[in-house]
Amino acid sequence: MTTVLEQGNITIHTENIFPIIKKSLYTDHEIFLRELISNSVDAIAKLKMVSYAGEVDGELPEPLIEIKVDSEKKTLSVSDNGIGMTAEEIKKYINQVAFSSAEEFVEKYQKDPSQQIIGHFGLGFYSSFMVAKQVEIETLSHRSGSEAVHWSCDGSPAFELTASPRTEPGTTITLTMMDEETEYIEEARIKQLVKTYCDFMPVTIKLGEEQINKQKAPWKDSAQNLKDEDYLEFYRYLYPFQEDPLLWVHLNTDYPFVLNGILYFPPIKPDVDVNKGQIKLFSNQVFVSDRCDEIIPEFLRPLRGVIDSTDIPLNVSRSALTNNRTVRRITDFISKKIGDRLKAMYRDDRKEYVRCWEDVGTFVKFGSLKDEKFKKQVEDIIIYKTTLEDKQDDTPKVEVQAEEGDAWQDTEEIAGNDGYTTLKDYLERNKEKHENRIFYCTDPGSQATYVDLYKNQGLEVLFMDSFIDTNYFIPFLEREYTDVKFSRVDSDLDNTLIDEEPSEIVDPKTNKTRSELVKELFEKALANEKVTIQTKSLKSDDPQGTPPAMVILPEEMRRIQEMTALLQQKAADFPDMHTLLVNVSHPMVQNLVNLSGGAIVDGGGTSKTGELVDQMCQHIYDLALISQKPFDADSMKAFIERSNSLLTQVTERL
């Protein structure tokens, strides 16, 4: 026989419940309408389900949710023709849900209202009490012989349950608004809320006689049923007055989780905030949030579109996510589908892939930096603009993994015909000229002279000129290709570009070569210890077509300075210490030697000729420098003054 130690009643202080609901249950009061409409959609869906089981007599009515407002009575009502409730179901689902918790539980959420409580309180119906001073339910169950009931509560623990004259199955929720919440009986406000939260619910929503929701959710449809114009129309509806997207990915899976969605690649603007997501999160076609950072991989946040899943755990307000295993698996799934889409596009429509690359490449490179799985997936389809001429017919092939399965297939690589190439193809193509060395350009404008120099000698240059390239991706590639050296075109020149000058003595008095004389001329004229003068003969069939001088920035020193500036969150200054490479084969430089008379002596530096030589050396340096960096106001003023003085002296000699 069991011994009874104590008997009694559990004490529940229900008066503590409603203050929590009114102040802390939801962040935004406006979502009460979303919750009521969601409940109505659920009720209609349940009626459809029981009809399949043969529990409904006759045909089902056309699903409908009606919203009515009465400004005089300050009431708003939401009606549906769904499954309805009996008096017993009212007691079970309305009365007991919110009043079934022990005092200790209530006290816990008074202390920390940010805790999840939707799983404990259940129905979003109780969000109504955030805006209403009285809530009424008029309902009739679909079950034959049921009696309609009326439930009423004024926001206190007390409620009233009476008979109702209702004759049609379904439910009507009527809210009498608080004085400070009367915005929710304005028709314009109701339309705005329905458009925001309930636009794509699968049931017609009417305000008066007007349907106020779009109803059709394209992401729930099969991709086979949608045309390009359908995707574009949906994008323009979500993001009006924006440029059309570059491409899109349709997501659809029901195992191991349910997920639908459409993600769009927008053109990337210079001021895009990569940390701010613009993808809209839905749960069963109900809008939840315009931020879903926990679901979308960081590198894909600038994408736009819709994600819809009932398997994403939400907190009480349905506006924050819990980072659990399902969320991580969904994140991996999205990354993989994006990678599959890009690989298929690379394989099947290379021309379109190249067209989109300038924008899409930012996502791909950022993803490669952030996600090892994604990097493995896309590493063979990362392309770079190249100086390679459009002459290649016997182009090499690369392996691209098929979208489905693990089989690999060879695909024609068209780089060289469209101005783009992969890194592997670049290395293979140039291994005879410069094995395991990559020449690249980060600024086509300021580095144009250097690029032309390489092109004229048949050396291929890659353009890596985006912010992510210069600051992050090149160092990343160097870690990936440890045996490959990356050299910017304005760093130390490759020997291929240099023509070895014979040590010809041009000044019998001093036994100095042309290079030695040129070096002395420039060192004297510039008088700057931070500028190292080198003299080389640049290889060219037309010396006049080569630059008379070039500023060279040693790769390692420049990298250190750029990294320091990046860490300090400022633009990198042009390094004071740099090298001026003077092209001794250029006619202008040779004329300088002749003009100087082959002598650098005390008196010569102060003569008219010596002054002209100094100014010409300075001018050659200015031209080399100005091609690398813009002059500030003072530097530009000094440059103009020197140029005017030089031209004056030249014209005096004519």
**Secondary structure of 328-380 in the HEC alphabet?**
HHHHHHHHHHHHHHHHHHHHHCHHHHHHHHHHHHHHHHHHHHHCHHHHHHHHH
For residue range 466-477, what is the model confidence (pLDDT) as tens digits? 888 887 899 899
- At 603 the pLDDT is 44
* Regions of the chain with pLDDT less than 50: 1-14, 98-123, 316-322, 390-416, 598-605
How far apart, in whole angstroms, are the C-alpha atoms of residue 533 and residue 226? Answer: 65
So what's the pLDDT on residue 27?
62
The topology (CATH level 3) of 503-536+544-551+577-652 is Four Helix Bundle (Hemerythrin (Met), subunit A) (1.20.120)
What local confidence, expressed as pLDDT, does residue 407 receive? 36
- In a 10 Å sphere around its CB, with 0-12 CB exposed, 13-18 middle and 19+ buried, how is residue 37 labelled? buried
What is the reported pLDDT for 18? 61
Asked if residues 380 and 398 have their Cβ atoms less than 8 Å apart, the reply is yes
Give dist(CA 280, CA 288) in Å, integer. Answer: 8
Instruction: List the CATH code of the domain at 382-495.
Output: 3.40.50.11260
> 622 vs 114, 489, 579, 618, 626, CA distance in Å?
64, 19, 13, 6, 6
Angle at 492 between CA 570 and CA 553, to 5 degrees: 25
What is each CA distance from 618 to 61, 89, 554, 578, in whole angstroms? Answer: 90, 93, 22, 15
Residue 4 backbone phi and psi in degrees, to 5 = -85, 120
Put simply, whether the predicted model's pTM sits higher than 0.75 gets the answer yes
Distance CA 294, CA 324 (A): 10
Element (H, E) at 76: strand 75-80
What 8-state DSSP symbol labels residue 568?
T
* Helix/strand/coil for 506: strand
By three-state DSSP, how is residue 558 classified? Answer: helix
CA-to-CA dists, residue 484 to 1, 438, 552, angstroms: 84, 7, 21
Measure Cα distances from 29 to 25, 80, 449 in Å: 9, 22, 62
Residue 515 Cα to chain centre, angstroms: 53
Pair 385, 365: CB distance under 8 Å: no
CA dihedral 513, 517, 520, 521 (to 10 degrees): -160
The highest-level CATH class for domain 218-341 is alpha beta
pLDDT, position 507:
66
- Burial of residue 570 (number of CB atoms within 10 Å: 0-12, 13-18, 19+): exposed
Structure tokens at 477: 């590639």
Integer Cα distance of 418 and 54 in angstroms: 63
In this prediction, residue 427 carries a pLDDT of 94
557 Rama sector, left if φ>0, alpha if ψ -120 to 50, beta otherwise:
alpha
Position 168, amino acid: E
What was the pLDDT predicted at 3?
42
| Same fold? 14-211, 218-341 | no
> Which one-letter amino acid corresponds to residue 411?
T
- Does 3.40.190.10 match the CATH number of domain 14-211? no
One-letter amino acid of 176: T
- Give the start-to-end residue ranges of the domains of the chain: 14-211, 218-341, 382-495, 503-536+544-551+577-652
For residue 292, count other CB atoms closer than 10 A to its CB: 24
First to last CA, the chain: 129
- Tell me 513's DSSP state: E
Ordered strands of the 304-308 beta sheet: 247-253, 259-265, 304-308, 278-283, 286-289
Q: Say how far apart CA 292 and CA 198 lie, in whole Å.
A: 18
Residue position matching structure tokens 């420039």: 522
CB atoms within 10 A of CB 515: 19
Picking from 44, 85, 42, the residue whose alpha carbon sits closest to that of residue 64 is 44
By C-alpha distance, which of 259, 241, 237 is closest to 250?
259
Going by C-alpha positions, the residue among 164, 194, 180 that lies closest to residue 67 is 194
Question: C-alpha dihedral over 392, 393, 394, 399, to 10 degrees?
Answer: 80
Q: If you write DSSP's letter for every residue of 208-247 in order, what string do you get?
A: TTEE------GGGS-GGG--HHHHHHHHHHHSTTSPPPSE
- CA 202 to chain CA mean position, Å: 30
Per-residue pLDDT, 118: 32
* Residue bearing tokens 């400070």: 180
DSSP state of 528: -
CA distance 595 to 487: 36
Strands 531-536 and 578-583, by their bridges, are parallel
Q: Answer for the pair 349, 336: CB distance below 8 angstroms, yes or no.
A: no
- Taking CA atoms, 427 is separated from 14, 255, 329, 546, in Å, by 74, 42, 36, 27
Residue 462's closest CA among 411, 426, 417? 426
